[in-house]
Structure 1
Amino acid sequence: MAECFFNGCTNSVIPDSFKCIFHSQRGRCLVQDCRNQVYARNLCVRHGGKRPCAFDGCNLNSRVGKFCTKHSPTDSVRRCSHEGCQNQSHLRGKCFRHGGSKFCMMEGCVTYARNRGYCTRHTPPHLVARRSSVVKTEVKVENILPDHSLDLMLDFDPLVDTFDISPAPQLEHVTPTDWGVLVSLLAGSSN
C-alpha cells in the first residue's frame, strides 16, 4: 500500500487519498514538489507560511509581533516583576525562579508542573498522550482483545445465546480509542 504524501510520514494512505488518516485534514504546500503541510496562507513555513522578521537583512521567522526574538523590541517581552530580575515572566508577572510557575499536584513534590498540573514523573497514565493510537491506521482485533473474547463475540447470536461477561477485568486495558476501532472493525465485518 502507498505511503502518506507528507515528509517523514510512513503511514499507509486512506482509500481514495494521498494522505494517511493522521494527515487527512491537513493541507499541502502550494509550492510545486514541496511535501510539507500548510502552516498559513496555503504555504509551509519554508515557503513563506510564517512571516519573516521585519528587520532588514534578517531571514528568521517573526515570533514577537513583526520581529524574530533576536530583533524584537525589549519592551514587548514581559519581564519578571521581581526587583532586578530581567528574565521573561510566565505566571502572575514573575519568572520561574521568583514564583511564576506551578508545582506538581502530587503531595510533597516540588518539581514544576508540565502536564495538566503534574510533573513528568507524576503524570497519571490516563493523561499521557498516546501517539500510537492516533498515528496507527491498521489495528488488528487480535491485539486488542484476549484470544477467547473475539471468538465469543463473533459466535454470539443475541436471539439464541446468553452471554455472561461478568469476569471482565481483562478488558480494563482497552482505551476508548481502541474500543472505537474495535467497534468499527466489527461493524465492517458484518456487512
Structure 2
Amino acid sequence: MNAVWRVVVIAFGLIVAAGAGLVFLVSALASADFGEAGPEIIAQFALFAWLFTFFSAEQGLDPVSMLGLLIASLIIVPVAMPGALVAILAEAFGWRSLTLHMAANAALGALAAAAAGFYDLLALDQTTAAVAPVESRAVLVMAATGGVVGFVYWLVAGRNASGFLNRQITSSTRDADASGR
C-alpha cells in the first residue's frame, strides 16, 4: 500500500511541476525582457503547426485533433518529459538533492531546446557568430523552465525519494527468494 501511495505522490508531483513549468515557459516567452526570441519561437511553432495541420488534412485526418496532438506533444517534450526522467531516476536511486533535481532538469530542458532546433550545437559555419542571441535566450529559457520543474517536483515529491534500488535485502526477503516463494 505504501508503494501505491508513493506512485500517487510521484504522479501528482509531476503534474504540478509540469503545470508550473508550462506557466513559467509561457510567461517567459511573452515577457518583453525576453526580446525578439519569444515572437520568433512562437512564429516558428505557428509555421510548423500550420504545415503539420495542412498535410494531415490533405491525407484525410482531422486537422483539429492533429493540431491538438501536436500542441500537446510540443508541450510534453520540453516541459514534462525531462521532469519525468529525472523523477524516475531520483525515485529509483533515492536521490533527494534539490540541486540535483534543478540541475538535471535544467540540463535536460536545454537539451530539449537544442533538439527542437532552437540552438545550433555544432555551429559548422565559422563565418557567422557561433550562437545567435535569440537561440541562446531560447536555450536559457528552456533551462530555466527545467529548473522550475525540478524545484516544484522536489517541493511536492522529491524530498522523500524512496530509493527502492538501493535497499538492502533483508533476511526474510532472502529466505523467501531461496525457498522459491
Q: Which has the higher contact order (CA 8 A, sep 6+)?
A: 2
Q: Select the structure that is richer in helix.
A: 2
Same fold at TM > 0.5 = no
Q: Normalising by the residue count of structure 1, what TM-score does the alignment of the two structures yield? A: 0.23
Larger Rg: 1
